[in-house]
């Protein structure tokens, strides 16, 4: 079984999602069975992810050839420290989102939990695949699942947001296919390791075509990551989704970020000859502008859900700045920050829903409304979440931002990164202070709801589970940053996948 561990994070949600469509889980009245099964699958996914991380730490990166078909023609999975870490993050976020949905969101449709499992399968598959075509396949799997989850529960706002979301991603998928065809025509392969070896040998017209294909990939990944100017779909889409779905969506932008790191470090990295780091001059200004637009969005947000969505944009821009520095130290810092930012963005979406349910028709909008039913509980959770978001000690946000700032080595890098991150942090503090004041102090009359309509235990468990991760990440910052540094070193060692492939004979 351990020999096949790289494929288990994909098989668990795939088989589990299919089983949830069958008796004794099918049917509206079977929601308790679905909940038990979904919880078991999430815990199993986390256990598999931990086992994968342990295996990678012990034995190094793993190259797995599905069906024993040798690279570059077979379907190859590659589990290094970065992929294993993101698989664990996906499982952990999936567990928290699933627990939160037990408050009643999952009863709005009988296929909620199966689709959640297919979504997890698509995300983990994108992190583990070592082939650009299969990356496209897993992109489509996670996107199709996200289309269904976005409209879960119905409503005009969700339907409208979903239409825009679907159209944009269909365009992105078409560009992705054109890019794959262009790169395959010039290199004769779509295997990431094989392509990284051939890309530096191109010349003349083939080199130009490969550059065009690479730039199209940047457009596609930038769309998935919500990089400026391809970000405009994210605030409305994430704000319209139900809370557990929006929380899970917090990691979907990281799929685009991961793809940028993987493709433009391994294929178009330092070993790509004339095509090396060709996207950096484009990504640098777009990363800074993404942070700026996200910060303006936080200040201008009319409700807490929009603030949560715009914090995702800020995290995307910060990660892209770390990518643009092009050093293992910056990449390691980015991976730690990615863990922190994904979890806290998910918390904000959940808190917006919990607070909104207790404010009547005002929901989470920044207007004077009825007092929330549980001001102490929700106020404490919001206060802690706000400190984590802005990066105050002793939480993971502080360490995440410090390591990103420290990774900027040169004078220009320091000026750009420090000024952008620190100004964005200051303005985010102002926005969250205003939000907390309005939501908890500016109210008219008594509570909008009765005590019987207080936050569900499942909602509190889901939020606390994610919030507790922040101080834990701070306490164990040393081991975690050592792990992310190892992941960055493996990513930047572009010959490592080939040596692993030769050592393991191309399969497991």
Residue 437 lies in a domain: yes
User: Is there a domain that residue 96 lies in?
Assistant: no
| 132 found inside a domain | no
494: Cα within 13 Å, side-chain hemisphere:
22
Q: What is the mean pLDDT of residues 297-306?
A: 92
Query: What's the pLDDT at 498?
Result: 66
Domains of the chain: total: 1
Write the pLDDT tens digit of every residue in 166-225. Answer: 898 899 999 999 999 999 999 888 888 888 888 888 888 888 999 999 999 999 999 999
Q: Would you state the pLDDT for residue 107?
A: 85
pLDDT at 447: 55
Question: Residue 506's pLDDT is what?
Answer: 43
pLDDT tens profile 74-131: 788 999 999 999 999 999 999 999 999 998 888 887 888 999 999 999 999 999 999 9
Mean of per-residue pLDDT scores for the chain: 88
Q: Tell me whether strands 76-79 and 369-371 are parallel, antiparallel or unpaired.
A: unpaired
Q: Is the pLDDT of residue 141 over 60?
A: yes
pLDDT digits (tens, 9 = 90+) for 352-393: 999 988 888 888 888 888 888 888 999 999 999 999 998 888
The full 3-state SS of 275-340, as one line of letters, equals: HCCCCHHHHHHHHHHHHHHHHHHHHHCCEHHHHHHHHHHHHHHHHHHHHHHCCHHHHHHHHHHHHH
In a domain, 340, yes or no: yes
Tell which wins on pLDDT, 500 or 8.
8
SS3 376: helix
Query: How distant, in Å, are the alpha carbons of 182, 301, 412, 472 from that of 155?
Result: 41, 22, 48, 38
Evaluate whether 293 touches 231 at the Cβ level (below 8 Å). yes
Spatial neighbors of 477 by CB under 8 A, at least 6 apart, are 336, 396, 399
Pairing relation of β-strands 369-371 and 443-447? parallel
- pLDDT, greater one: 455 or 126: 126
In a domain, 406, yes or no: yes
In a domain? residue 83: no
Q: Domain span at residue 426?
A: 279-475
Instruction: Answer yes or no: is 336 within a domain.
Output: yes
CA distance 289 to 281: 13
Count the neighbouring beta carbons within 10 Å of the beta carbon of residue 330: 24
Helix 156-187 with 132-150: angle, nearest 10 deg: 170
Q: How many residues does the chain have?
A: 508
Q: Does this model's pTM top 0.85?
A: yes
Let me know if residue 296 belongs to a domain: yes
């Amino acid at each position: 079984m351990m020999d096949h561990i790289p494929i288990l994070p994909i098989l668990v949600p795939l088989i589990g999602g299919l089983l949830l469509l069958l008796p004794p889980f099918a049917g509206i009245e079977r929601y308790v069975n679905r909940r038990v099964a979904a919880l078991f699958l999430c815990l199993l996914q986390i256990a598999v992810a931990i086992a994968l991380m342990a295996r990678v730490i012990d034995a190094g990166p793993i190259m797995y050839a599905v069906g024993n078909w040798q690279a570059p023609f077979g379907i190859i999975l590659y589990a290094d420290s970065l992929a294993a870490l993101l698989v664990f993050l996906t499982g952990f976020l999936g567990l928290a989102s699933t627990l939160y949905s037990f408050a009643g969101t999952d009863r709005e449709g009988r296929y909620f939990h199966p689709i959640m499992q297919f979504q997890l399968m698509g995300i983990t598959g994108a992190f583990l695949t070592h082939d650009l075509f299969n990356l496209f396949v897993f992109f489509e799997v996670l996107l199709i699942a996200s289309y269904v989850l976005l409209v879960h529960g119905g409503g005009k706002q969700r339907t409208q947001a979903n239409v825009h979301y679907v159209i944009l991603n269909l365009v992105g998928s078409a560009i992705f296919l054109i890019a794959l065809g262009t790169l395959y025509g010039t290199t004769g392969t779509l295997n990431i390791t094989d392509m990284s070896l051939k890309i530096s040998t191109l010349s003349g017209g083939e080199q130009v075509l490969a550059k065009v294909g690479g730039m199209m990939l940047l457009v596609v990944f930038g769309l998935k990551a919500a990089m400026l100017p391809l970000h405009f779909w994210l605030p409305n889409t994430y704000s319209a989704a139900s809370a557990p779905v929006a929380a899970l969506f917090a990691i979907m932008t990281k799929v685009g970020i991961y793809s940028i790191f993987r493709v433009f470090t391994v294929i178009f990295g330092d070993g790509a000859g004339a095509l090396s780091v060709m996207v950096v001059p484009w990504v640098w200004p777009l990363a800074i502008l993404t942070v700026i637009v996200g910060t303006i969005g936080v200040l201008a947000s009319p409700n807490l859900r929009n603030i949560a969505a715009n914090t995702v944009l800020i995290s995307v821009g910060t990660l892209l700045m770390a990518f643009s520095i092009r050093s293992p130290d910056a990449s390691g810092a980015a991976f730690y920050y990615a863990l922190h930012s994904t979890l806290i963005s998910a918390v904000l979406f959940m808190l917006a829903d919990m607070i909104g349910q207790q404010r009547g028709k005002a929901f989470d909008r920044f207007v004077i409304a009825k007092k929330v039913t549980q001001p102490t509980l929700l106020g404490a959770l919001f206060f802690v979440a706000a400190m984590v978001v802005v990066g105050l000690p002793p939480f993971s946000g502080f360490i995440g931002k410090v390591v990103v700032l420290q990774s900027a080595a040169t004078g220009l890098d320091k000026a750009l990164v420090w000024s952008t991150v620190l100004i964005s942090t200051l303005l985010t503090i102002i926005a969250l202070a205003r939000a907390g004041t309005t939501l908890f102090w500016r109210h008219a009359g008594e509570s909008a709801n009765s005590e019987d309509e207080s936050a569900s235990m499942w909602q509190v468990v889901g939020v606390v589970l994610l919030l507790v991760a922040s101080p834990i990440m701070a306490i164990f910052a040393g081991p975690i940053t050592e792990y992310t540094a190892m992941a960055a070193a493996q990513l930047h060692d572009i010959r490592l996948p080939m040596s692993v492939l030769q050592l393991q004979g191309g399969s497991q």
